[in-house]
Amino acid sequence: MTDITGKSLIAGTWVTPGGTEFHSFNPYTKSAFNSFTSCGGAEIETAMTAATEAYHQMRQMDGATIGEFLSTVADEVEALGDTLLETCDAETALGLIRLTGERGRTTGQLRAFAAIASRGEWVEASIDTAIPDRAPVPKPDLRRMMRGIGPVVVFGASNFPFAFSVLGGDTAAALAAGNPVIVKGHSAHPATSELFAVAIEKAIRKTGFPAGAFSLLQGANRELGTELVKHPATQAVGFTGSEGGGRALMDLAAARPQPIPVYAEMGSVNPVFLGPQTLKNTGDAIAAGLSGSVCMGTGQFCTSPGLAVMLEDTAFESAMKTAMDAAPRGHLLNPRIQASLVGGFARLESIAGVEWLNEADFEEGSMTPPNAVFKTTGDVFLQQKALSEEVFGPVTLLVVCTDENQMLEVGNSLQGNLTGSVHADDDPELAAELIQMLEQKVGRVIFNGYPTGVEVCPSQQHGGPYPSSSVSWATSVGADAIERFARFVAYQATPDHLLPPALRNDNPLGIFRKVNGDLTRDKIPGTEK
Amino acid sequence: MTDITGKSLIAGTWVTPGGTEFHSFNPYTKSAFNSFTSCGGAEIETAMTAATEAYHQMRQMDGATIGEFLSTVADEVEALGDTLLETCDAETALGLIRLTGERGRTTGQLRAFAAIASRGEWVEASIDTAIPDRAPVPKPDLRRMMRGIGPVVVFGASNFPFAFSVLGGDTAAALAAGNPVIVKGHSAHPATSELFAVAIEKAIRKTGFPAGAFSLLQGANRELGTELVKHPATQAVGFTGSEGGGRALMDLAAARPQPIPVYAEMGSVNPVFLGPQTLKNTGDAIAAGLSGSVCMGTGQFCTSPGLAVMLEDTAFESAMKTAMDAAPRGHLLNPRIQASLVGGFARLESIAGVEWLNEADFEEGSMTPPNAVFKTTGDVFLQQKALSEEVFGPVTLLVVCTDENQMLEVGNSLQGNLTGSVHADDDPELAAELIQMLEQKVGRVIFNGYPTGVEVCPSQQHGGPYPSSSVSWATSVGADAIERFARFVAYQATPDHLLPPALRNDNPLGIFRKVNGDLTRDKIPGTEK
């Protein structure tokens, strides 16, 4: 817990910016500690200028060099040892077990993107060979691949201080694609952020990587983020957080002279649909699983299941009540989330026709909220738009419908969601209809499972229709997260030695490429172009 | 040229909307003919409601059904025969030779997307198999693929009345991905648009395709486009046209309660860089090629080369002047483009340090502009931002730089472009530097060629950094144009029979899929999930 300097890392130099002072906050003790100051225009300008220069250098690197750098970053994160876990626990109350797991995920992501960068297959190389004697005009040789887009601004998330923060998935993906990253550290865990910057600074020195490839700008003011998004050198933004925050960045980016993409993952209510027959047969197991998912991490996940859509089933209701009461109370991350959860409870309680099944005290200022299960009818839900808004915390709402059609109607009434779950093994017709409905509403359909716990793998889709994400095709978890930070460049009739390795005739990377429309690892006969 | 009814096709029904009247305009005779009325709110509502319904039906179709429909559409376009060519020539003055070629490209695109839809490999299927005994938690089975996103609004382009219009590339790509399309017909060729609607209506009847899958809304008012983009059922927009028009749609889409993507291809100046030694050795050939590219189609291509960046070379200058003068004058498409070109000439002539090398008359109201070559210095170019703006017509500007560094500086000063060309076989060091610079500025780098003539193939990239396109990763030409109108959906632990065919264990489509990270056509052993 020592050695926190309160500085920001600007392109290889530790600086003490002159902006507003702010502090770490300990949710266990409700006390402030450490001292930080916020970055402003000068730090932004230095970071962005260095990032632009680093981008030019990174464009010339091969994937293996970038891969080696990312692996070294992962090593240096591990070298921070228990200090990282303890510092973060003191800032977030997430607990050492969860943070140990999240650290493993974070270094795992860094190493996965190291492997992706080294392998080089992510660029989706495609080659169409020339047909010089085609009539009426010759067909030129055309080759296409993805290239990094330039400096990427990443906003750290409060609820994942490791995996979606300074060296989280967005940073790893952006670097792997060959882009410098400028992180706006989250003000709820600045000491944790500083430690990650220490790790990457060491990796930069060890590998001789350009110092401008990474900057951490600490700050507690909204203006810092605004100015980073508006800076002309910024070419894309990664964000994980609230719908309000994400939409503000989207609007800023869209209004720039050069609009840029904002990849914002903004969370959702993650509905769970429970078939009546399935609930009758396995309701106790579902109550155990669902309550576990709702309460996990004090409900502070973007995939926390906030809605359970079902028919009347008093046995299940009672099992849910019992399970939620039995779950120990957890800690909230910070006072802002606490205030927002207090507001969420008030909203639910203010709506006629909504019942708090296991009403309990939530003392003023308490950081340990009750695990709450509410209940309403499908009719009320369909009339009250506010009920489909996310309540960030250990809260779920049972929506008891009149029949299966109303269950589908409730689903169709929802906005975009990250996930939608189905438990309907014993309701096969309903299962098929639910899946068809959910495909249009969510990024990930889950069968017989719960939405928390996002597997990091190539087939993962963590992103869904707005407002769960800003860009519905994109994922912020898994291998394809890299594609957000790249664009295609085609090369027409370009001499082999001037092409990037991925497009050269002899396929030096040995990657799959689309050659005249078909995937193959074959070389191209070295014809004169 | 007979049988033009002036109606709009709204989800299978021909209607006469009650909005403003407008007419076809013949650029050869400068006279109006035919009569059309503009669609409004009622037609929009009917079209969008039917499109939403059609979307649900199209989601359940297999790719072969969609492919068969697109092939039939291509057949019906051909069945329009010479009427299509003659009608369009009377509305655009593009000439029968060019239009015959463009018709071939258009039916070729429709058939190419038919094949893509039938094959089904475009969905980028990925499967990660379960590891039930993994510690600390089991790994779930996850499978992911692209699915259509919903109703797509397409704006026809004036300069490609076939290939980028009612049944052009955007429409073909959006339908292939399983989306209904609502076309706002371009008011400069409404009779041509009507004929295409006749063709697709026939294909819909022949194949029993949902009538809501296609609507053509004719209109000469800006409000129609605005309301289509703002309609809540619209999920994406395809546009080819001016930067002003494209940006207006981008701003509208970004301001919606649910922001949606706008894929706008807005053209650019398409710089051509000429190495000094190469110019000395092959200047005459380059002058012939460049002037041909500038004058092609009266310069009315988004890829028309508007800048040639070079060192002083009086022989080349003189060759360019001769070649441009020798090229016959062509016809402009319509009075709006004529007025814009008059403004472009005035702008170039108003800037001190810009010389019109082959000054010639451009009579008031004339639809046949001079083929113009202007000249300025690198110094003037770098100071006058207006010189890097597109002049849509048969016009190019020679930018004579002091040295090779200034050539690169001119390149670096440019905004995003669709293409950048390099002629530098005898300037090998400059060639490498130019390519590295262009990769950051353009979507397609061209070696020893000219930007007009966009090959339709999988490796094509027709789209570049803003303002040449709204979304720099996307292409509006080539196989990957389909990806703009789809998003990924993941399925977790979903029973095989409830999965789309592309993700099923036995790989019924026989497509390449990423299985646990590696591309393969193998089946998945049918394990219990």
In this predicted model, what pLDDT tens digit does every residue of A202-247 receive, in sequence order?
A: 999 999 999 999 999 999 989 999 999 999 999 999 999 999 999 9
Catalytic residue list contains A295: no
> pLDDT by residue (tens digit) across B105-152?
999 999 999 999 999 999 999 999 999 999 888 999 999 999 999 999
Q: How many CB pairs under 8 A join A and B?
A: 200
- pLDDT per residue, tens digit, chain A (529 aa), is 458 999 999 999 999 999 999 999 999 999 999 999 999 999 999 999 999 999 999 999 999 999 999 999 999 999 999 999 999 999 999 999 999 999 999 999 999 999 999 999 999 999 999 999 998 889 999 999 999 999 999 999 999 999 999 999 999 999 999 999 999 999 999 999 999 999 999 999 999 999 999 999 999 989 999 999 999 999 999 999 999 999 999 999 999 999 999 999 998 999 999 999 999 999 999 999 999 999 999 999 999 999 999 999 999 999 999 999 999 999 999 999 999 999 999 999 999 999 999 999 999 999 999 999 999 999 999 999 999 999 999 999 999 999 999 999 999 999 999 999 999 999 999 999 999 999 999 999 999 999 998 999 999 999 999 999 999 999 999 999 999 999 999 999 999 999 999 999 999 999 999 999 999 999 998 654 4
The Cα-based distances of B40 to B36, B192, B222, B246 in angstroms read 13, 21, 11, 21
Residue B443 has its nearest CB partner, among A259, A467, A490, at: A490
- What is the pLDDT at residue B529? 44
Distance, C-alpha B219 to centroid of its chain: 21
Task: Look up residue B139 and give its DSSP letter.
Answer: B
A196 neighbors A167 (Cβ within 8 angstroms): yes
Residue B528 predicted with pLDDT over 90: no
> pLDDT by residue (tens digit) across B363-402?
999 999 999 999 999 999 999 999 999 999 999 999 999 9
Helix-strand-coil percent breakdown of chain A, rounded to 5? 40, 20, 40
Residue B1 predicted with pLDDT over 80: no
- What is the pLDDT at residue B267? 81
Task: Please identify among residues 203-232 of chain A the ones whose CB lies closer than 8 Å to any CB of chain B.
Answer: none
Interchain pair A491, B436: CB under 8 A: no
Which residue of A459, A470, A471, A514 to mutate against B (max B Cβ within 10 Å)? Answer: A459
A144 neighbors A491 (Cβ within 8 angstroms): yes
B453 touches chain A (CB under 8 A): yes
B128 touches chain A (CB under 8 A): yes
Token pair belonging to A400: 């008891």
Highest mean pLDDT among B84-88, B136-140, B451-455 belongs to: B84-88
Q: Name the minimum distance, in Å, from the CA of A194 to any CA of chain B.
A: 30
Question: What ipTM is given for this predicted complex?
Answer: 0.95
- What is the pLDDT at residue B527? 55
Token pair belonging to B220: 């000469």
> Which residues touch B512 (CB under 8 Å, ≥6 apart)?
A519, B121, B519, B520, B521
Which residue of B249, B459, B487 to mutate against A (max A Cβ within 10 Å)? Answer: B459
**Phi and psi at residue A166, in whole multiples of 5°?**
-50, -50
Buried b or exposed e, range A94-111, using 16+ CB within 10 angstroms: bbeebbebbbebbbebbb
- What is the pLDDT at residue A1? 42
Interchain pair A128, B436: CB under 8 A: no
Phi-psi region of B294 (alpha: psi -120 to 50; beta: other; left: phi over 0): alpha
- What is the pLDDT at residue A529? 44
- What is the pLDDT at residue B498? 96
- Look at residues A491, A506, A488, A143 and name the one whose alpha carbon lies nearest to residue B448: A491
Interchain pair B491, A149: CB under 8 A: no
- What is the pLDDT at residue A527? 55
Which residue of B488, B509, B516, B520 to mutate against A (max A Cβ within 10 Å)? Answer: B488
B514 touches chain A (CB under 8 A): yes
| Residue A447 with chain B: CB contacts under 8 Å | 491-495, 498, 529
Residue B266 predicted with pLDDT over 50: yes
Residue type, A238: G
Residue A128 has its nearest CB partner, among B439, B458, B512, at: B458
B303 touches chain A (CB under 8 A): no
- What is the pLDDT at residue A97? 95
Question: Which whole number is the average pLDDT over B9-31?
Answer: 96
| Residue B142 with chain A: CB contacts under 8 Å | 455, 457, 459-460
- What is the pLDDT at residue A324? 97
- Residue positions of B annotated with a catalytic role: 265, 302
pLDDT-based confidence at residue B92 (cuts at 50, 70, 90)? very high
- What is the pLDDT at residue A362? 93
Quote the CA–CA distance of B344 and B336 in Å, as a whole number. 12
